[in-house]
């Protein structure tokens, strides 16, 4: 019972990191929108760093046979294709989401695929936290710390993407929290199914998420950064993208 309580408490604490956007509630809308452009640059680095430094290496870590490596590669590409298809459907004028937003945010499809990718990623984090606690409380706590530090820059990036897509601060915070709360389901599944669930998640959802993150950064966010062609924008965006990658790289030191 103690293990379950610690696991649930840990995943709830990690989920609450998604409320980082609350720090902007005291700011006026124009200033938040301006900050969002910086967050988008950071998000590119964070998403690509997460995919290439964490998720893809984890995908291939257990892929020794050529057939398994091929399957992992196809799952990564499948994640990119899945996000491409979802976004195309959401962009359609008769898409289901457009029927529920009047008026629709300027980039509703961007917000939606970001939430989708983040929810899958948070589910994976929840599974990993639960599986770690099944081994020992000490491993569970250290894993929670690693996930927590990993989520802070990720959640700032996600919040910036949601604001940039046209959502209000309040709605962005609530959707970010909802997406983060999916981690609780991951922990519950892991506690119920144990190592079997963790292996299934690692083999399938991790490469799919990696592909989704690469698609989101390369197909949606980088083109957004190309609109400002000034030298100042080049310098600022390059620094922030590099910072996002650097932070994701440094997090490997505590994993």
Is 23 domain-assigned?
no
Domain limits for position 181: 2-16+28-254
The pLDDT score that the predictor gives to residue 152 is 81
Is 94 domain-assigned?
yes
Total domains in the fold of the chain: 1
Ranges in the chain, pLDDT < 70: 1, 62-67, 92-106, 194-198, 201-202, 254-255
Is 63 domain-assigned?
yes
For residues 23, 29, 35, 36, the Cα torsion angle rounded to the nearest 10 degrees is 100
Q: Is 211 exposed, middle or buried (0-12, 13-18, 19+ CB in 10 A)?
A: buried
Prediction pTM value: 0.78
Is 22 domain-assigned?
no
The pLDDT score that the predictor gives to residue 204 is 84
Going from the C-alpha of 136 to that of each of 7, 28, 141, 186, the distances in angstroms are: 11, 46, 9, 18
Is 223 domain-assigned?
yes
Is 21 domain-assigned?
no
Query: Please, are residues 31 and 230 in contact by the beta-carbon 8 Å criterion?
Result: no
3 state DSSP class of 92: coil
The pLDDT score that the predictor gives to residue 230 is 93
Is 207 domain-assigned?
yes
């Amino acid at each position: 019972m103690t293990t379950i309580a610690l696991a649930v408490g840990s995943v709830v604490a990690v989920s609450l990191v998604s409320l980082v956007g609350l720090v902007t509630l005291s700011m006026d809308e124009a200033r938040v929108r301006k900050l969002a452009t910086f967050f988008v640059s950071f998000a590119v680095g964070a998403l690509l760093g997460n995919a290439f430094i964490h998720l893809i290496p984890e995908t291939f870590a257990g892929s020794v046979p050529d057939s398994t490596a091929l399957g992992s590669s196809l799952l990564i590409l499948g994640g990119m294709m899945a996000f491409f298809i979802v976004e195309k459907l959401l962009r359609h004028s008769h898409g289901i989401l457009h029927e529920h937003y009047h008026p629709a945010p300027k980039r509703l499809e961007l917000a939606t695929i970001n939430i989708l990718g983040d929810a899958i990623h948070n589910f994976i984090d929840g599974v990993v936290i639960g599986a770690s606690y099944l081994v020992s409380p000490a491993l569970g706590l250290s894993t929670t710390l690693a996930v927590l530090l990993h989520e802070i820059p990720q959640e700032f990036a996600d919040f910036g993407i949601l604001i940039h897509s046209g959502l209000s601060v309040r709605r962005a915070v609530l959707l970010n929290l909802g997406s983060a709360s999916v981690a609780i389901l991951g922990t519950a599944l892991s506690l119920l199914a144990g190592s079997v669930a963790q292996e299934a998640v690692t083999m399938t959802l991790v490469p799919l998420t990696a592909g989704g993150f690469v698609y989101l950064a390369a197909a949606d966010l980088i083109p957004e950064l190309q609109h400002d062609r000034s030298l100042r924008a080049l310098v600022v965006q390059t620094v922030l993208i590099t910072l996002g990658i650097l932070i994701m790289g440094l997090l490997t030191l505590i994993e």
